[in-house]
Amino acid sequence: MTGKSNSVAPAAGAIGAEISGINLSQELSDDSIAAIRQALLDHLVVFFREQELTPRQIMAFARRFGEPVTYPFVKGLDDFPEITPILKRESDRSNFGGLWHSDTTYQEVPPMGTILYGIEIPPYGGDTEFANQYLAYETLSAPLRGFLDGLKAVNVSGKGATQKTRDEMMKQAPSGLKGDELSARHPVVRTHPETGRRALYVNGAHTLHFDGMTEEESAPILEFLFRHQVKAEFTCRFRWSKGAVAFWDNRCTQHNPINDYHGFRRLMHRVTLAGTVPA
C-alpha cells in the first residue's frame, strides 16, 4: 500500500499511521491484509477514515487478523456477542476505559489487538491517545531494564479508578460479573511474538504490584513507570470522525480515551482479537 490509491502516512514520530484508499467493507485480498498487518507491526496502531461498516462487515474484517473474543464485563450485541457497543450518553459523566491502559491485562491470555469503529461522534472532543511501549522500555536506563527483565506483575480487573470507568456500561449491558473477579500475572517486559522487540507491559489501570513484592514496595517504581511510559514523545493523538476505524496492537501499546465531551452522545463498536500468553 504505497501508491496513490493506497498509502500509509505516519501520524506522529513515535507511533501511528493513517491508511487511505482502502474500503474495509469489501472482501480484501491476501496482499492487502498482509500490508495492513505489516503497517500495524511497523506503526503499532493504524487508522482508517470514511468507512461504512455493518456489524457483519466489521467481524469479517476482524477475522482476517485473528479470532474475535468477547469482553468479560459488558454484554455484546445480540447477534454478534464479540462486538461490544461502547456508548457514552449525554447524561453520563464517566467514559468507558477512560485512563491509560492496555486492554484486559488481567486475563491470562490478553488480546492481541483491538478494532474500534466510530458510529456516533461528538462535534468535538473524545480523541484517543496511543503510546509506544517499545520506546517506553528502550529509553529506560540499563540498570532499571536489568531489574525489570524477568519480573512479573499482578494485574487485576478491580482497581478502583478502572471500575468507575466501567460503571455506566455495566449498568447498560451487564454480563453478570461484578468487575473485580479477574487477575493474572504477566511479565513486566514482554517480547512481541511477531517482531521480537521488547515492550514495557505494566499499566496504571490494571497493574497492582510486582509478583513477590508488596504493593507498598512496588508503588514507587510502578508510579515512575506509569508516568514514564506515556510521555508525550512516545504518543500520538487520534481525532475521531464518523466512520473512522482504529486498529491497535495491544502487545506493545497503551491507549487513553479522553473524556472531554460531556453532554454529547458517542457510540463506538469494539472487537478484540485473541492473543497469546505474554512471554
DSSP character string of 172-184: HSB-S--S---EE
The helix/strand/coil state of 198 is strand
Which residues are known to be catalytic? Answer: 101, 103, 255, 270
* Cell reading at 271: 472487537
* Cell reading at 225: 513507570
Q: How far apart are CA 200 and CA 71, in angstroms?
A: 23
Q: How far apart are CA 10 and CA 17, in angstroms?
A: 4
- Is 35 within 8 Å of 41 (Cβ atoms)? no
Angle, alpha carbons 151-224-228 (nearest 5°): 100
Cβ density class 53-85: b for 16+ within 10 Å, e for less: bebebbbbbbeebeebbebebbbbeeebebbbb
215 DSSP β-pair partners:
none
